Amino acid sequence: MNAVFHQAEALHEKIKNEIIHDAESFRIQYLGSKGEIKSMFSAMKDIEPKERKAFGQLMNAIKVTAESRLKEAQGEQQFSGKGGQKRDYTTPGIAHKFGTRHPIEQTKDRMIDIFAKLGFSIAEGPEIEDDWHNFTALNLPQDHPARDMQDTFYVDSKANILLRTHTSAAQIRVMENEKPPIRVITPGRVFRNETISARAHCAFHQVEGLYIAEKVSFADLKQTLYYFAKEMFGSDNIRLRPSYFPFTEPSAELDVSCFICDVKGCPVCKGSGWVEIGGCGMVDPEVLKSVNIEHPKYTGFAFGMGIERIAMLVHGIDDLRLFFENDQRFLQQF
């Protein structure tokens, strides 16, 4: 038998007994374009014609063996960890953690759903506002002392461009472009130049509501807020305390009976049995005049609530800053 046969048989045994540490190196050495098997195939010309068939069958067997060993090695490396250690696929897997909506978004959606049942639609406006929509049209002229109540972030003080201090600015835009009846809520983020603490932040979220139509009364406002308190907190009682807002007259602070202690007194309600959740009142005629809505033919009410405040009450959270820190230990509770 030709010596080339002996070389081929030796190569076959070598491939059978090769300890494969790296599948790719094995492939290049034996099955690559310059590998040993292809080189051995090129020796076909040195074989006697009557022996070429047998040599071809042997080389095909060598190639099949090499491909089988390569496939086996690739499978082992695919299912092995670092350092070539085999993985135990009977061990429990690591569960993937899925994200959830932020508690502020959850609370906002719940508030929107409640007011939607009363026929309120959603209106939005820009976070960067002008002085007219944020102050002047809301009965807060340039020299009005009530402007001191809201320290403002000005983007361009000369052009009176600022970060809105309340979503009431979006209500002005709605009244400018729509005719009564108007029934909208304006959820969104607002900004005030305040010191960040457990009870205050320079950026927070509001849901404000507006209803303008004929013969709208304070009784309509009270029933709307009563329905919200009942749906949101399960509270049976609300209390309206006289207050002052430049864009409503009369104005009131809205309290709900403490649903945590059942009006018996606790740290949340400071022992009073009542919890403040927002402000409200009848839309001031001067505001209607600024947007060319006829008064007294049309009257209306407005209200506003901080979403963080509502979320803190619902979930019993005592520090507003937790909503902004993105601590996974906190957010995973929701």
How are the residues of the chain apportioned to helix, strand and coil, as percentages rounded to the nearest 5?
A: 45, 20, 35
Instruction: Return d(Cα 82, Cα 26) in angstroms, integer.
Output: 19
Q: Which of residues 46 and 300 earns the better pLDDT score? A: 300
Q: What is the pLDDT of residue 1?
A: 52
Closest CA to 248 of 212, 203, 206: 212
Q: What is the pLDDT of residue 14?
A: 85
Q: Which of residues 156 and 77 earns the better pLDDT score? A: 156
pTM: 0.69
Instruction: For residue 87, report the phi and psi dihedrals to the nearest 5 degrees.
Output: -90, 145
Task: Report the chain's mean pLDDT, rounded to a whole number.
Answer: 86
The kind and range of the H/E element at 253 are strand 248-257
SS3 5: helix
**Percent of the chain with pLDDT strictly greater than 90:** 43
| Domains observed in the chain | 3-84 (no CATH), 103-331 (3.30.930.10)
Pull the structure tokens for residue 207.
Answer: 């849901």
Closest CA to 279 of 314, 309, 299: 309
Instruction: Return d(Cα 162, Cα 179) in angstroms, integer.
Output: 27
Instruction: Return d(Cα 9, Cα 14) in angstroms, integer.
Output: 9
Closest CA to 210 of 132, 151, 155, 291: 291
pLDDT of 66 strictly over 70: yes
Instruction: For residue 122, report the phi and psi dihedrals to the nearest 5 degrees.
Output: -95, 135
